[in-house]
Amino acid sequence: MSFSEAFIEARPAPPLERRAISRSALAGYFSLGVWTLLALSLVYLVVTGWDPAKFAKYGPRYLSGVWVTFTLVTVSIVGGAILSLPVAFARMSKSRLLNTISFTYVYIFRGTPLLAQLYLIYYGIGSFRPQLEAVGLWWFFRDAWYCGFLSLTLNTAAYQAEILRGAIESVPRGQREGARSLGIPERIAFWKIILPQALIVALRPYGNEIILMIKGSAVVAVVTVLDIMGETRYTFSRTFDYQAYLWAAIFYLAIVETLRHVWAWLERRLTRHLKR
């Protein structure tokens, strides 16, 4: 074996931190490249096909669509979080009946497309108008916004329930045993010790779920809800200009990127004690 070969074999592998930094740098360069291409494409559109009259006429409609999307996703996420609590507890329950019901709910709503769920609620349940009027629920199911809210809530609740269940079960058993040895009641131990640790574990999956909900909420446009995509379809039907969909993509990308950076800051803020 030559001296150079022996030197190569004896040389230690690069530290894990250096390799992690290099991957992070590559991800940063990729993100910068995407934004650079987006900026160049916008400049190209402004130079070649910009129509100030269309922007002035339909721009406010896009802003209205952004507000509808923000409102719909926010209330659906909150409603799904509330509904996910009993579903997650039922999934962890020792009762076979509760476990079966919750498993069936999660399996159906995670295994079927969101668009199919929206159609079943808006067109399927909406077809029972006499029965709904008899029980006083027709006011809810005749409105496309409410049907979109219900479908998004039921869908995200299934995903959030699995996120919460996995996070709770990931907390070491030693935490429960330690609380029990100190004489802390089981309910207090869960709310004060187990759940806070579980929420830290679930923080990143919750962020991913919110981002998926923002992008998935575009399906409500097919039932005449005027969110970002709904306003885009309206604009395109009047102008037949492909830039209408380009602007929709830019709005969604800007919202997702903003939320991603805010969520990353929140995660660093809440987990700073774990890095000391």
For 197-217, write each residue's pLDDT tens digit: 888 888 889 999 999 999 999
pLDDT at 136 over 80: yes
Give the three-class secondary structure for 228.
Answer: helix
What is the average pLDDT value for the chain, to the nearest integer? 85
Mean pLDDT of 129-150: 92
The one-letter amino acid code at 139 reads: W
Res 154: pLDDT = 96
- The total number of residues written for the chain in this structure: 276
Find the mean pLDDT for residues 92-102: 92
Token couple for 191: 């709310």
Angle formed at CA 77 by CA 76 and CA 80, multiple of 5 degrees = 80
The domains of the chain are located at: 53-271
- Is pTM, for the whole model, over 0.85? no
The CA distance from 234 to 225, in Å, is 11
Render pLDDT for 216-261 as a digit per residue (tens, 0 to 9): 999 999 998 999 999 999 999 888 888 888 889 889 988 998 999 8
Nearest Cα residue to 159 out of 237, 118, 211 = 211
- Cβ distance 74 to 153 under 8 Å? no
Phi and psi at residue 14, to the nearest 5°: -65, 145
- Cα separation, 176 vs 197, in Å, equals 12
Percentages helix, strand, coil for the chain, rounded to the nearest 5? 85, 0, 15
The Cα 164–Cα 176 span in angstroms is 17
pLDDT of 50 over the 80 cut? no
CA distance 207 to 131: 39
What span, in angstroms and rounded, lies between the C-alpha atoms of 94 and 207? Answer: 30
53-271 is classed CATH 1.10.3720.10: yes
Give the residue carrying structure tokens 């006499």.
130
Tokens standing for 36?
């650079």
Distance CA 79, CA 117 (A): 17
Contacts (Cβ under 8 Å, ≥6 apart) of 98 = 90
Q: CA distances (Å), 163 to each of 90, 103, 157, 175, in order?
A: 14, 14, 10, 20
| Residue 45: how many other CB atoms lie within 10 Å | 14
| Per-residue model confidence as pLDDT tens digits over 4-44 | 444 444 455 455 445 555 666 777 777 778 777 776 766 66
